[in-house]
Chain A
Amino acid sequence: MCLAIPGKLESISAQLDDVFRMGRVSFGGTIKEVNLSMTPEAKPGDYLLVHVGVALQVVDEAEALETFKYLQQIGELEELNPDQPIDRTKIPGS
């Protein structure tokens, strides 16, 4: 459960409040809202290592793409279930 998945920061979405910068991150096309508090330096176009909805680190693009491909190949991306996006308007399970 410590898996961190790389994705591309597409845009900074509306901030929830002063501290909580959120961004739209694409994981091979699946878009999720990700918290950027731990990576204040992240800017659109950067690749981020994301764990449970929080970006842990900015990573190299080539690293990100290869790691994502590897995770995809071995079928380890189920936690990115597109049926359960972190969409602020929809709460999973409700």
Chain B
Amino acid sequence: MKYLSEFRDPALVQQYLDTLHRIVTRPWTIMEICGGQTHSLVKHGILTMLPKQITMVHGPGCPVCVTPLGLIDEAIYLAEEKGVILCSFGDMLRVPGTGKSLLEAKAGGADIRIVYSPLEAVQLARTLPEKQVVFFAVGFETTAPANALSVVHAEQLGLTNYSVLASHVLVPPAMEAILGDPETSIDAFLAAGHVCTIMGMEEYEPIVARYQVPIVVTGFEPVDLLQGITMAVRQLEAGKARLENQYVRVVQKEGNRHAQDTIHSVFDVADREWRGIGTIPASGYAVKNAYAAFDARRKFELSPTTAETNNGCMAGAILKGIMKPAECPYFGVTCTPEKPMGAPMVSSEGACAAYYHYAGAGVGEG
């Protein structure tokens, strides 16, 4: 395992930049999957330091950004009409649904609470047996073990007043959907380090083989990102397509088996709608029949989510890397983090908000 002092070294940043400038001979488009990586690339100004041949496009890697309007509407419905205590991670609160956001519903009197962990929501259900508690279980593979664990825990405690509104998204099917879209042209991917901490690397092998696209599992700090980009460009320049791991100090090839087992004991893989992208087969999790009593969808007999209404937000093109935030006509005009029109402007890991906060005037570049 590598010691990290060298990863924070500015000289190392310069070294990777020099290497990149030296080895790049052609234009390449690289997509980083994780919103945390987008945030870091923009915040640290890395996009402006890269050789001009390298274009970074920002992937769909922010679970908040891809949560469909219909699911937010359902969460609000549960809180307002069914009188449940709806618990959510904080970053979901300002995302606009069709009519309003969770925050607006809360201001209107709905019992909506921010929790740091789904296990807190279970604890809340335990202390308030007369109330129904629903946890809005949003997240990528990284968050799935905690959400699954909350269900297992609630069952072990014999709780009948805890359920989850499952809104999980999975990374590899989204990568395939992006690669299969004729409008996109991605030469290489930086895969999300913390997703792979849980799931391991094996599920990326078939994507590399099928699409002949280099995938580099990468961390989220500046030097990680520069090293990941360098590894991808080296492969591209050599005409290779391999699965590599930049984040070896954290990611093991097989991931965390305990976490995978917990996920698979509670959730089945299911089709899932991604905001702005549409339905991607086998790209989400639904609660298994064995845990139906803990599935808010079945418990409160929610019908399939309503169709997407379009307010002009270009999130789909942004999340697939076809368009940059500043190219959206609403960016910074009628759409700001204070008054977001779409989810990528809400979460600090969304590409639009990252550009708005950190990229300043030169937002169209990079």
User: Using a CB–CB distance below 8 Å, which chain A residues touch chain B?
Assistant: 1-4, 16-17, 19-20, 35, 37-40, 49, 51-54, 56-57, 59-60, 62-63, 65-67, 69-70, 74, 79, 81, 84, 86, 88, 91-94
Contacts and interface: CB of A to CB of B under 8 A. Distances in A.
B101 interface: no
Q: Which of B35, B117, B123 has the most CB of A within 10 A?
A: B117
Contact of A91 (B124, B194, B259, B349): B124
Interface of B: 1-5, 7-8, 34-36, 43, 61-64, 87, 89-91, 113-120, 123-124, 127, 138-140, 142-143, 145-146, 149, 152-153, 156-157, 192, 194-195, 197-198, 220-221, 249-250, 256, 258-259, 262, 347, 349
Contact of A56 (B113, B123, B256): B256
A3 B194 contact: yes
Nearest to B171: A2
A34 B6 CA distance: 30
Given A2-B140, A59-B249, A62-B4, 11 more contacts: A1-B349, A35-B119, A37-B262, A52-B118, A56-B142, A60-B3, A66-B5, A86-B116, A91-B124, A92-B115, A94-B124
Nearest to B64: A1
Nearest to A69: B8
Given A1-B91, A2-B143, A38 B35 contact: no
Contacts of A54: 117, 119, 145-146, 149
Q: Which of B1, B2, B259 has the most CB of A within 10 A?
A: B259
A54 B263 CA distance: 13
A1 B119 CA distance: 16
**Those 5 A-B pairs whose CB atoms lie nearest each other, nearest first:** A53-B117, A66-B4, A93-B113, A54-B146, A2-B142
A48 B336 CA distance: 36
The DSSP consensus for interface residues of chain A is: loop
A84 to B, nearest CB: 6
Contact of B149 (A37, A49, A67): A37
Q: Which of A51, A62, A74 has the most CB of B within 10 A?
A: A51
A33 to B, nearest CB: 9
Contact of A17 (B139, B157, B195): B157
B160 to A, nearest CB: 17
20 contacts: A2-B36, A2-B142, A35-B117, A35-B119, A38-B259, A52-B118, A52-B143, A53-B116, A53-B117, A54-B119, A54-B145, A56-B145, A56-B259, A57-B197, A59-B250, A63-B250, A66-B8, A81-B116, A93-B113, A93-B115
Given A2-B34, A3-B36, A53 B197 contact: no
A8 to B, nearest CB: 16
B197 A49 contact: yes
Nearest to B89: A1
A91 B120 contact: yes
A60 to B, nearest CB: 5
A34 B194 CA distance: 18
A4 B1 contact: no
A53 B109 CA distance: 28
Nearest to A20: B153
Contacts of A53: 116-120, 146
Contact of A57 (B114, B195, B220, B256): B256
Contacts of B143: 1-2, 51-52
A49 B252 CA distance: 13
A79 B119 CA distance: 15
A35 B4 contact: no
Contact of B63 (A1, A20, A38, A81): A1
Contacts of B149: 35, 37-38, 54
A17 B157 CA distance: 9
A63 B1 contact: yes
Contact of A63 (B34, B198, B249): B249
Contacts of A94: 113, 124, 127
A2 B35 contact: yes
Contacts of A16: 153
Contacts of A57: 197, 250, 256
Given A1-B349, A88-B123, A91-B120, A51 B194 contact: yes
Given A86-B117, A92-B116, A52 B146 contact: yes
